[in-house]
Amino acid sequence: MSLSSALQQLASYRANNTRASQETFKKGVTILKSRNAPNLGEDGWAFLEQLALASIDIGRLDVADECTKQLSEKFPNSPRVAVLVGIRKEASESPESVLRYYDGVLEEDSANAAIWKRRISVLKRIGKTEKAVDELSKFLDTFYTDVEGWLELADIYSSCNQYTSSLQALSHALVLAPQNPFTALQFAETAYTAGDLPLALKMFLVVTEMVERDIPAPEDSAPTGISVRAWWGVKLCSRRLIESPPSSPSASDTPVPKTIKLIDELATERVLTSYSGEQGAEGRQLVSQWISAY
């Protein structure tokens, strides 16, 4: 692989925030050794940061140190390099020592959001979930628009069975990023896990609508990608709602649609169609069996 295509691949990983650490390390270390890094211009520094992170991820702390050294020399007192130094410390020092380091940085610069988030992730890692949630909530009070933070909070709440709080956090994420179908999907799945089937159904349908909005005649083609998962969700919800109609209103007061049987039929058709091509041939029988079990 040529130098320029390796650089392109690494640049695209950075743009998409991809954590392909093995690949990144393999390509990156060759570039580092060829001593071309400083000649990469502006991108060279982002590259060194990326290689440092990948190296830490796969346990090559020696390479990480080389990268961090160059970055520290070039950008002394940089808040961004401080984060990298912190992450490097996380790999070899005790959590208490790392937390002290982060506290130190925050004392000098309380607006360093990245450091704050690292601190929270260390708390989560050592099992101090309540403290992590507390800190994360405070963080989000200050940095309200940090979508990643809201999603993380939702995830932590779900893992402790606190679904209502999780849904609240996801609502904020939805307000900030209303076009992101994955957030709506996470909301739908969380609502289902919490037992609020009408709400889950509504959100699964919202996902299908978001994804199929730009397709001219979605009913004529097989669902792909996230649609498949969403239609499965619709099918699961509608099936359960038909089988055991809820006797009390849902927690969110979402009504069961009057057209539930039609929705169920549509979802059945959509899920089966996902398996209709050559791709789905293998799975089709099992899926039909599941669908006709009710």
Helix axes 42-58, 3-16, angle to 10 degrees: 80
Check residue 272 for interaction with another protein (CB under 8 A): no
Residue 178: CB atoms within 10 A of its CB come to 10
Binding mask 219-258 for another protein (x = CB under 8 A): ------xx-xx--xx--xx---------------------
Residue among 113 and 226 whose Cβ is closer to another protein: 226
In what helix (H) or strand (E) does residue 214 lie, and over which residues does it extend?
Answer: none
Among 69, 74, 100, 125, binds another protein (CB under 8 A): 125
Smallest separation (angstroms) from another protein to the CB of 89:
17
Rounded least distance, CB 290 to another protein, Å: 6
Residue count of the chain: 294
Closer by beta carbon to another protein, 92 or else 161: 161
Handedness of CA 52, 29, 18, 44 (dihedral sign): positive
Kindly tell me which of 37 and 185 has the beta carbon lying closer to another protein: 185
Q: Which stretches within 113-162 are classed as H helix? A: 113-125, 129-142, 147-159
DSSP state of 278: S
Sequence-ordered strand ranges (E) for the chain: none
**Binder among 61, 171, 180, 290 for another protein (CB under 8 A):** 290
Rounded to a whole number of angstroms, the minimum distance from the CB of residue 158 to another protein is 4
**C-beta of 261: minimal distance to another protein in Å?**
20
Tell me how far apart the alpha carbons of residues 116 and 225 are, in angstroms, rounded to a whole number.
35
Q: Work out whether 268 is an interface residue with another protein (CB under 8 A).
A: no
